[in-house]
Structure 1
Amino acid sequence: MRLVPTKFIRAGIELAKPIYDARGRVLLQKNIRLTESMVNRLKSSGITYVFTREEDTDDIIVHPPIPDQQRIEAVQKIKETFRSFESEDLTKNNYLLEKAALKLEQLVKEIANELSKNDDVIHYLSDLLIIDDYVFSHSLNVSMYTLALAQELKLKDKDLEQLGLGAVLHDIGKIIIPDEILNKSGKLSDMEFKLVKAHTEYGFDLLRKAHNIPLLVAHCAYQHHERLDGSGYPRGIKADDIHPFARIIGVADVFDAVTSNRVYRDAMLPHEGLEILYTGAGTQFDMHLVETFKKTVALYPNGLTVYLSDGSEGVVAQQNYQMFERPIIRVLKENGLKVKPYDLDLSKVLDVMIVNTDQLITS
C-alpha cells in the first residue's frame, strides 16, 4: 500500500484501508475506487492521508499501534468524558470526573498493553478517521506517544499508569474554550491566546479537586506547556522545577500537534515533526527525551513516497530498527522512468539519502 496525503488524492484511486466516521462506522470500504465526490468529501473531512492500493506496493504493510476499532472506541470514550463536563459545575461536584477517571485509567492500561505487545514503531496516527473535534483524537495520540516513550524509558507500571492518565487528561482544560477560538483559521488575538493558555490552569484546578485522581496527574495538565528555558506557560518555570512527567508529555504533545491537520495549517510528516523537537532540544525540551522519542516513531512511515539523492523514486517498504532515518525503499522509478521494482536498503547503501517526500501521484 501507498500512503498519500488527502490533498493529493484523485478520482480512480483504490483504497487499501477503510475510512471511518467519528462513531466508528465505515464510510468508505477498502478496495473501493474513489469518485470525484468521494475525493471532495475526504479533502474537506480533516483526514490527513489515505492508504491506496497498487500492484507494486501491495505487500507493504502498516501495523497500527493499537487496532483500528480499539482506537475508535478510545476516541469516543475520551469525547464522552470531556463532553460530560461541559454542562456540569465540576468545581462543586466532582463525581462525574472521578467516575470518568476510572474508565480512563482502564483505557490507559489497555493502550499500554497493546503497545507492549507491538514490537513495531508507531506509524503516522492521523489517519482514516473522520473526527468532529481535534482535541479528542489529540488526547489519545498524545497518550500513545507518551506511553511509547515511557516504555522506552523503562518506567515502572505504576508510573506508566499515572503518566498515561496525565497524558489523556492533559488538555481537559480546553472544555472552557469556545470552539470558534480552538478552531480559528486565522491568527489569535492577544485576548484569545490568553484564554487558550488558561486551559492549563483550569485543567489543574479541575483535576486536583477529584479525590481519586493523583495530584501528579493534575500537574501534567498544569505544566505540559512549560519549557526548560522558562519560555513556556502558565508560570514560566524552568528545568528541574518542571515535573519529569510534564516534560515527557510536552514532547509528545508538540510532536502530535505539528503532525496533525489543523484548520490553520497542513500536517507535517514525522521526520519534520522530529526536526521541530530537535530545534528545541537542550533549550525547550530535554535532549535525552527527544533522542529516546526518536526510537519510538517511524520517521518515514511505511507507504510514504520518497525521492532519493541518486535520482530514484520509491515507497518506504520496511523500517530498519535503530536506524529509522534509513529505511528500506521499494524503488519504482529511476530518473523519472519506471523500472522493475526492487528494494534498496538505505542502511547498507550509505551514499544514497532521502532528499524529498513530495507525494503527488503522477502515474
Structure 2
Amino acid sequence: MRLISTKSAKPGTILAQTIYNDNGQVLIKKGLLLTEKMLNRLLNQGITYIYIEDDLTGDIKIESALSEKLRKEATHAIKDIFFEIKNTGLYDRSYLLEKKGNQLTSVIERIINEIVENEESLSLLADIFVTDDYIFQHSLNVTIYSLAIGTEMQLSHKELSEIGLGAMLHDIGKIFLDQEILKKPNKLSDEEFEIVKSHTQLGFDFLRKNTNTPLVIAHCAYQHHERLDGSGYPRGLAGNAIHKYAKLISIADVFDAVTSNRVYRDAMLPHEGLEILYAGAVNLFEKEMVQAFKKSVAVYPKGLTVGLSDNREGIVVRQNKGLCDRPVIRIISENNNMVTEPYECDLSKAVNVMITSCHID
C-alpha cells in the first residue's frame, strides 16, 4: 500500500486502510473502490492522507500503533469519563474521576505493554479517523507518543504510569469551555484564544481537588503549554520550574497537533512535525526528549514515496529500529526513469545517501 494525499486520489482507487469514525466503527472499509462522493466526504472531514492499493507496494503492510481492540477501548474510556465529568454536578465530579480512575489506569498499563512489545517504530498515520471531537483522539495520541518517549528514555514503570495518566487527562480542562469556540473552523479572536488558554487552569483546578489523583497529574494539565524559555502559558514558567512530565507531554502534544487531520488545515507529515520540534529543541523543548521521540517515531512512515540525494526515488518499505530517519527504501526510479526491477536501499547502510523530498501526489 502507498500513502498519498486525499486530494490527488482518483475515483476508482482502492482504499488500502480502513477509515473509522470516532467511535471506532468502520466508516469506509479497506478494499472498496473510492467514489468521487467518498473522496469529497473525506476532504470535507479534513482527512489529508490515505493509504491506497498499488502494484508496486502490494506487499507492504501497515500496522497500527495499538491493536484495534485496545484503541477502541481507550477511546471509549476517554470519551466516557470526559462526557460524564462534563455532565455531572460540580460536587460529584471528583468522585466520578475516582470511580473511573481504575479503568483509565488499566488502559494505560495495556498501552505501555503494547509499546514495549512493539518492534516497529511508532506511526499513527495508519489509524485514520473521521471525528467531530478532536479532543478524544488527541488525548489518546498524546498518551501513546508520551509513553513512547518515556519508554525510550528508560523511565521507571511508575513514571510511565503517571505520564500516561497525565497525558490522557492533559486537556480535560477543555470540556469546561464553550465547544463552539473549540470547534471554530477559522482563526480565533484574541479574546477567544484567551478563553481556550484557560483550559490549563481549569484542568489543574479540577484535578488537584481529586485527592486520589497525584498532584503531578494536575500539573501535567497545568504546564503542558509552558516552554523552556518562559514564552508559554499560563504562568510563563521556564527551565527546571516546569515539571519533567509536562515537558515530555508538551512535545507529544505539539507533534500530534500538527500531524493530525483537521477540517481547517492539512496535516503535516511526521518529518515536518519533527522539524518543528527540532527548531524549538534549544529554546522551547528539552533536546534529550526530542531526540528520544525521534528514535521512537517513524519519521518516514511505510508507504511514503521519497526522493533521495542521488536522484533516485523510492517507497519506504521497512523501518530500522532506533534509526527512524534511515528506513529501507524500495527504489522505483533512477534519474527520473522507472527501473525495470525495483530493488531495496537500506539507508542505515548507505550512509552517504539522504532523503531530500517526500511525494504524496
**Deviates most, 30-39 or 125-134:** 125-134
**Would you say the 8 A contact 1:91–1:209 is kept in 2?**
no
Could you say which residue in structure 1 is the equivalent of 2:185?
Answer: 185
CA apart distance, 1:190: 1.3
SS of 1:324's equivalent in the other structure is: strand
SS of 2:342's equivalent in the other structure is: strand
Q: Are 1:163 and 2:163 matched, yes or no?
A: yes
**Deviates most, 305-314 or 52-61:** 305-314
What is the rounded CA distance, in whole Å, between the counterparts of 2:312 and 2:93 in structure 1?
Answer: 62
**Would you say the 8 A contact 1:184–1:263 is kept in 2?**
no
Could you say which residue in structure 2 is the equivalent of 1:329?
Answer: 329
What is the rounded CA distance, in whole Å, between the counterparts of 2:230 and 2:76 in structure 1?
Answer: 35
**Would you say the 8 A contact 1:48–1:127 is kept in 2?**
no
**Would you say the 8 A contact 1:228–1:286 is kept in 2?**
yes
**Would you say the 8 A contact 2:2–2:53 is kept in 1?**
yes
What is the rounded CA distance, in whole Å, between the counterparts of 2:128 and 2:256 in structure 1?
Answer: 16
Could you say which residue in structure 1 is the equivalent of 2:86?
Answer: 86
CA apart distance, 1:147: 0.6
SS of 1:327's equivalent in the other structure is: strand
What is the rounded CA distance, in whole Å, between the counterparts of 2:117 and 2:232 in structure 1?
Answer: 35
What is the rounded CA distance, in whole Å, between the counterparts of 1:287 and 1:19 in structure 2?
Answer: 35
> TM-score w.r.t. structure 1 length?
0.94
What is the rounded CA distance, in whole Å, between the counterparts of 1:264 and 1:23 in structure 2?
Answer: 22
Q: How does 1:203-242 map to 2 (within 5 A)?
A: 203-242=203-242
Structure 1 residues 147 and 246, CA, compared in 2 at 3 Å: closer, same or farther?
same
**Deviates most, 177-186 or 283-292:** 177-186
Q: Are 1:354 and 2:355 matched, yes or no?
A: yes
CA apart distance, 1:153: 1.1
Q: Are 1:49 and 2:49 matched, yes or no?
A: yes
Structure 1 residues 263 and 100, CA, compared in 2 at 3 Å: closer, same or farther?
same
What is the rounded CA distance, in whole Å, between the counterparts of 1:126 and 1:160 in structure 2?
Answer: 24
Could you say which residue in structure 1 is the equivalent of 2:8?
Answer: 8
The one-letter code sitting in structure 2 at the alignment partner of 1:341 is P
SS of 1:325's equivalent in the other structure is: strand
Could you say which residue in structure 2 is the equivalent of 1:63?
Answer: 63
Q: Are 1:176 and 2:176 matched, yes or no?
A: yes
The one-letter code sitting in structure 1 at the alignment partner of 2:262 is R
CA apart distance, 1:201: 0.3
Structure 1 residues 288 and 93, CA, compared in 2 at 3 Å: closer, same or farther?
closer
**Would you say the 8 A contact 1:220–1:246 is kept in 2?**
yes
Q: Are 1:106 and 2:99 matched, yes or no?
A: no
SS of 2:56's equivalent in the other structure is: helix
What is the rounded CA distance, in whole Å, between the counterparts of 1:93 and 1:34 in structure 2?
Answer: 45
CA apart distance, 1:78: 0.8
The one-letter code sitting in structure 2 at the alignment partner of 1:354 is I
Could you say which residue in structure 2 is the equivalent of 1:244?
Answer: 244
Structure 1 residues 47 and 126, CA, compared in 2 at 3 Å: closer, same or farther?
farther
CA apart distance, 1:312: 2.6
CA apart distance, 1:138: 0.4
Q: Are 1:291 and 2:291 matched, yes or no?
A: yes
CA apart distance, 1:115: 0.8
What is the rounded CA distance, in whole Å, between the counterparts of 1:23 and 1:243 in structure 2?
Answer: 33
CA apart distance, 1:34: 1.0
Where does the alignment leave 5 or more consecutive residues of structure 2 unmatched?
none
What is the rounded CA distance, in whole Å, between the counterparts of 1:94 and 1:196 in structure 2?
Answer: 23
What is the rounded CA distance, in whole Å, between the counterparts of 1:298 and 1:71 in structure 2?
Answer: 19
Where does the alignment leave 5 or more consecutive residues of structure 1 unmatched?
none
**Would you say the 8 A contact 1:46–1:131 is kept in 2?**
no
What is the rounded CA distance, in whole Å, between the counterparts of 2:249 and 2:204 in structure 1?
Answer: 15
Q: How does 1:257-296 map to 2 (within 5 A)?
A: 257-296=257-296
**Deviates most, 189-198 or 65-74:** 65-74
**Deviates most, 140-149 or 118-127:** 118-127
What is the rounded CA distance, in whole Å, between the counterparts of 1:160 and 1:53 in structure 2?
Answer: 37
The one-letter code sitting in structure 1 at the alignment partner of 2:343 is Y
What is the rounded CA distance, in whole Å, between the counterparts of 1:273 and 1:222 in structure 2?
Answer: 23
Deviation string for 1:82-109 (max 9, x for gaps)? 1112222335642212222221111111
Number of equivalent positions: 360
**Would you say the 8 A contact 2:16–2:52 is kept in 1?**
yes
Structure 1 residues 55 and 174, CA, compared in 2 at 3 Å: closer, same or farther?
same
The one-letter code sitting in structure 1 at the alignment partner of 2:65 is P
**Deviates most, 268-277 or 29-38:** 29-38
CA apart distance, 1:219: 0.7
CA apart distance, 1:126: 6.8
The one-letter code sitting in structure 1 at the alignment partner of 2:342 is P
Structure 1 residues 201 and 126, CA, compared in 2 at 3 Å: closer, same or farther?
farther
What is the rounded CA distance, in whole Å, between the counterparts of 1:152 and 1:351 in structure 2?
Answer: 27
> TM-score w.r.t. structure 2 length?
0.95
- State percent identity of aligned pairs: 52
**Deviates most, 85-94 or 150-159:** 85-94
